[in-house]
Amino acid sequence: MTHPGEPHSGGMAERLNWLRAGVLGANDGIVSTAGLVVGVAGATLATGPIATAGLAGLVAGAVSMALGEYVSVSSQRDTERALLAKERTELAEFPDQELDELTALYAAKGLTEATARLVAEELTAKDAFAAHADAELRIDPEALTNPWHAAGASALAFTIGSMLPLIAILLPPPDVRVAVTFVVVVLALALTGAISAKLGSSGLGRAVARLVGGGALAMAVTFGIGQLVGANVS
């Protein structure tokens, strides 16, 4: 019987990785934008500069996240393609050696030499390339990560996270906007911390405390800097 809380399929693991990345991207958007708008709010009560800074931070952060994810995933994809191409060449030029290698891989997993050889021969007869890609490279040639999808997901997650502190600081009256933003951000970080802990099967309290503590510290520091800068400029 399959344990209900344990993903055994590659597809499920892939979806969990994407969800975890989305949560982390949203968390980055929450913290960075909250620190930015709270810092500006510490320097001025005017809504215009706060909105401008918040929107600029949102756009710049989303673009930066998307670009970073695109470059990272593209590099990974290029590496995977190069490994797959090399494997195709080796299978074409050295089929016997590759069969021996596949046999050794299955023997190393605990199969007897005879069983490992039988498995390797049957898999090679069916699809040698797919067998080596899976056993040797741990790569699914049909499921390489799309860098455009990764970039879009990263930008979207960051944008969603950034909208929370931006809306929270623009809607309330000036005298309570920082307090409201602080509460909203703390609650949002607690939620993302809880989700991260659930996805990572880690301690709930520790994960929430890290995110909430870090976000609160970031807002406190930027608000203090904003007040100092605002007082000196005025």
Residue 32 belongs to a domain = yes
Residue 163, judged by CB atoms within 10 A of its CB (0-12, 13-18, 19+), counts as middle
pLDDT in tens, 117-154: 999 999 999 999 999 988 888 888 887 888 888 888 88
Residue 215 belongs to a domain = yes
Average pLDDT for the chain:
86
pLDDT in tens, 144-197: 888 888 888 889 999 999 999 999 999 999 989 999 999 999 999 999 888 877
Of 197 and 107, the structure prediction assigns the larger pLDDT to 107
**How much is the pLDDT for 25?**
86
**How much is the pLDDT for 232?**
63
> What's the whole-number mean pLDDT along residues 219-224?
92
Residue 5 belongs to a domain = no
**pTM of the predicted model, to two decimals?**
0.77
Q: Which of 163, 145, 158 is nearest to 24 (CA)?
A: 158
Q: How far is the C-alpha of 128 from the C-alpha of 125, rounded, in Å?
A: 6
Domain extent for 119: 11-233
Residue 1 belongs to a domain = no
The four Cα atoms 53, 55, 165, 154 give a dihedral, to 10 degrees, of -130
**How much is the pLDDT for 22?**
77
> Considering its fold, how many domains does the chain have in total?
1
**How much is the pLDDT for 90?**
92
AA letter at 116: A
> What's the whole-number mean pLDDT along residues 38-56?
92
Residue 3 belongs to a domain = no
Residue 174 belongs to a domain = yes
How does residue 6 score in pLDDT terms, banded at 50, 70 and 90? very low
Residue 71 belongs to a domain = yes
**How much is the pLDDT for 78?**
93
Tokens of 73: 């995933």
Residue 45 belongs to a domain = yes
Residue 2 backbone dihedrals phi, psi, to 5 degrees: -80, 130
